[in-house]
Structure 1
Amino acid sequence: MKQGRAEAYYREEHAQDRAVITVEDVDNFVDSLLDGPDSENLAELHSVDRPLLASGFPDHEFLVGVNKELQVGVLSFMDETGNLVSLGRAAKQGNAAYYMVGNEREFPGQSEISIALVRQAVMEFLTSAGQRPTCIEWQEPEVW
């Protein structure tokens, strides 16, 4: 295993052949989400540096979403310790909707953070072998 690699799903073609994201790809990856269609602004990442469960599935999930119009993003991290979402500073009315290949995912209104923090968190996820990034604050979603 090479440290600093993750498999990503954020475009229809990734259903059969996951994209591979490395430390060197972070800016291009986030830019690709920003430049892509609004229906594909959320990605699912799994570090290849973490062991798989006995079932063969990853033991974690890292979601990365961006909103090009507002220049903000959201993050979610799930593993055996629970499910957390990013905690943003601005309180927003209602939930924030992001889309993974056309499928809507809602995030709490206070979960949006700057694109710069999204980039930093993705970099940390990769360089820490798939651990939950510590460069942002996290919150437990009330309902998810």
Structure 2
Amino acid sequence: MNYTLEFGLEAVTDDATIIARNAEEVDAALDRIIAASATFNHNPTAFVLERPRLGPLRFPDHGLKIDVDPERGAAALAWVGPGYDSPWMTHSDRSVSGASLHKDIDSATPFPANAAITLDQLRAAVHEFHDSGGHRPTCVEWQPTDGW
């Protein structure tokens, strides 16, 4: 099945809902997200439109939250979805000196240093998220986290 991603991008330089149906559109969405990263108002998020939505407010049953530090070549992800009782964030054995990555930009809650992944890993994970219909990508390592 082909899935459709909806990216929410809220940045001073680019404020949009971006729809991506294929690999080229996912790459174009990531290019926009990376280009706008210095001016994020909120973390960009991705959802699969074909997945269930819950409750009267129709919240998605899953999600992928992104932060990017392109100057350091780093990113971090948080994921929530079916089959797991709590959210997860990326895990890496490499630290990126000076990287500024936030799990929640609004509250200035940082990702820990061991959540940093490369921009290539970010792309691979978002493509896998798309191709799998919103499941947690297996191409990166994960660690539990205490909040979305």
Matched to 2:48, the amino acid is: S
Change (3 A) 1:114 1:139: same
TM-score, structure 1 normalization: 0.81
Between the aligned partners of 1:95 and 1:84, the Cα distance in structure 2 is 20
Say whether 1:48 aligns with 2:49.
yes
Structure 2: segments with no counterpart, 5+ residues: none
| Contact kept? 1:66, 1:73, Cα under 8 Å | yes
- Counterpart in 2 of 1:110? 114
| Contact kept? 1:33, 1:42, Cα under 8 Å | no
Change (3 A) 1:123 1:37: closer
Aligned residues: 138
TM-score, structure 2 normalization: 0.79
Secondary structure in 2 aligned to 1:35? helix
| Contact kept? 1:8, 1:45, Cα under 8 Å | yes
> RCO (CA 8 Å, sep 6+): is it higher in 1 or 2?
1
Secondary structure in 1 aligned to 2:120? helix
Matched to 2:81, the amino acid is: D
Q: Give the deviation of 1:130 after TM superposition.
A: 1.0
- Counterpart in 2 of 1:119? 123
Structure 1: segments with no counterpart, 5+ residues: none
- Counterpart in 2 of 1:140? 144
RMSD over equivalenced CA pairs, Å: 2.6
Secondary structure in 2 aligned to 1:36? helix
* Identical positions, percent: 24
Residues 13-60 of structure 1: per-residue CA shift (max 9 Å, x gap) = 33xxx2212332122222212212413283111111211113321111
